[in-house]
Amino acid sequence: MNTDAPFAPWEDESATPLIAFSNVTKQYGTFTAIDEVDLKIYPKEFFALLGPSGCGKTTLMRMLGGFETVTEGRITIDGVDMDGIPPNKRAVNMMFQSYALFPHLTVAQNLAFGLKRSDMPKSEIDGRVEEMLRLVQLKKFASRKPHQMSGGQRQRVALARALAKAPKLLLLDEPLGALDKKLRQETQFELMDIQEKTGTTFVIVTHDQEEAMTVASRIAVMDHGKLKQIDTPDRIYEAPNSVYVADFIGDVNIIEGQVTKAEGDAAELSWGEGKPAIRGMAGAGLRAATSGAFVVRPEKVAIFSEEPMDRHNRLNGTVEDIAYLGNMSTYYVRLENGALIKSQVANNRRIARRAITWGDRVWLSWTDTAGIVLAS
């Protein structure tokens, strides 16, 4: 992706999507798992479906694989309606959460399993298997059985097996869920690397927001079968369109109140008797004189021992707790109205030099563009 323009086909009106969900609903009896979803995913995207367990993200992905039927609506892949097409007839492959490696077959046989059932000539299969083994750096392990490998190695076999048939679309169901944290971070970069090398469209399902933020070109945040927001990771973080998304992604302070002003980008929220209104950016579709919430990330909240007279947003409170995290500290400040606000400060200096401690009266402050006012 070393072109001049950044990779953003979703902003291009003329781009054709690879996948299109139109008005898709899925019901199990009276339970609605997927609720009128509209979604376009473009070629070469690394698209993440993010949400808590039971939000419908896995169901949405399994519909692409052909393992779930659609109750209402339509799914097309590459312009073809997928209704009634079984999994084995789709140019889509899936990497299963459990990896689903065949225990009775060796690594090489696992990789060849799908190829043998494609129209690839027999003579080319070995070459392709070799190529995939090289891609995931497992050449030495070709003749091992799955149970003779570590979790990380198995994960790579599963990835290679799903990629072997060069699918148009690869589905990854919590691909890193079974790995420990350190390995997971390494593997995230490997996944991105492989995605870029092969040029395959990836759709990943995850409940881990850090993972989604790291790997994805766009993220869809889901809740109760609905898509709450579809956006790039930075937009999801910086400009959440709802309190739900703001709260789900990362750490956040939420102050509830009345929207007193919503003009263009700027908005104000009054939150307490006799307190000056908080200034922030206006969220999508915000209107004055409604109830709303101001959200701001802890790392954007500065902490002072004396009142910073040069800033508009400044709140007074008492330090209740300090969490020392090594590279940073989080101060938990109790406001007069009882709300608890977190302020995260990078520890540039040694701990002994820090001026603020438990029980201190402090001032919290942020710039006028640091937070966002959302309709609630």
Partner 1 sequence: MNIARRLLITVPYAWLVALFLVPFLIVLKISLSDYAISIPPYAPTLELEEGWSGFRDFWVGLDFENFVFLSEDSLYIKAYWSSLKIALLATFLTLLIGFPFAYAIANAPQEWRPSLLLLIILPFWTSFLIRIYALIGIISNEGFLNQFLIWTGITSEPLVIMNTNTAVYIGIVYTYLPFMVLPIYSTLEKLDGSLLEAAQDLGCTRTSAFWSVTIHLAKPGIIAGCFLVFIPALGEFVIPSLLGGSHTLMIGKVLWEEFFSNRDWPLASAVAVILLLVLIIPIILFQRNEQKQREQNK
Instruction: Establish if 288 lies at the interface with partner 1 (CB under 8 A).
Output: no
**One residue of 29, 79, 84, 103 binding partner 1 per CB under 8 A:** 103
Instruction: Establish if 287 lies at the interface with partner 1 (CB under 8 A).
Output: no
Of 92 and 277, which has the nearer Cβ to partner 1? Answer: 92
Instruction: Establish if 175 lies at the interface with partner 1 (CB under 8 A).
Output: no
Question: Which amino acid is located at 94 in the chain?
Answer: M
Alpha helices in 136-180 (DSSP H): 151-163
By CB under 8 A, the residues from 228 to 247 that bind partner 1 are none
Instruction: Establish if 146 lies at the interface with partner 1 (CB under 8 A).
Output: no
In whole angstroms, how close is the CB of 171 to partner 1 at the nearest point? 9
Query: Cβ neighbours of residue 85 under 8 Å, at least 6 residues apart?
Result: 66
Give the whole-angstrom CA distance, residue 221 versus residue 271.
28
Query: Cβ neighbours of residue 344 under 8 Å, at least 6 residues apart?
Result: 251, 297, 298, 299, 301, 328, 329, 330, 331
**One residue of 2, 11, 14, 147 binding partner 1 per CB under 8 A:** 147
**One residue of 26, 40, 154, 161 binding partner 1 per CB under 8 A:** 161
Residue tagged 């080319």 (tokens) = 124
275: which DSSP letter?
Answer: P
Instruction: Establish if 94 lies at the interface with partner 1 (CB under 8 A).
Output: yes
Residue tagged 């603020």 (tokens) = 356
Instruction: Establish if 277 lies at the interface with partner 1 (CB under 8 A).
Output: no
276: which DSSP letter?
Answer: P
Instruction: Establish if 114 lies at the interface with partner 1 (CB under 8 A).
Output: yes
Stretch that binds partner 1, among 82-90, 261-269, 324-332, 363-371 (CB under 8 A): 82-90
Instruction: Establish if 156 lies at the interface with partner 1 (CB under 8 A).
Output: no
Instruction: Establish if 118 lies at the interface with partner 1 (CB under 8 A).
Output: yes
Give the whole-angstrom CA distance, residue 168 versus residue 161.
14
**One residue of 113, 244, 304, 332 binding partner 1 per CB under 8 A:** 113
Helix axes 151-163, 122-135, angle to 10 degrees: 140
Instruction: Establish if 26 lies at the interface with partner 1 (CB under 8 A).
Output: no
Instruction: Establish if 65 lies at the interface with partner 1 (CB under 8 A).
Output: yes
**One residue of 7, 27, 83, 102 binding partner 1 per CB under 8 A:** 102
**One residue of 67, 244, 304, 332 binding partner 1 per CB under 8 A:** 67
Burial 146-185 (b: 16+ CB within 10 A, else e): beebeebbbbbbbbbbbbbbbbbbbbbbbbbeebeeeebe
Residue 128: is it exposed, middle or buried by C-beta count within 10 angstroms (0-12/13-18/19+)?
Answer: middle
In whole angstroms, how close is the CB of 372 to partner 1 at the nearest point? 41
| Residues of this chain that bind partner 1 (CB under 8 A) | 65-67, 86-88, 92-94, 96-98, 100, 102-104, 113-114, 117-118, 147, 161-162, 165
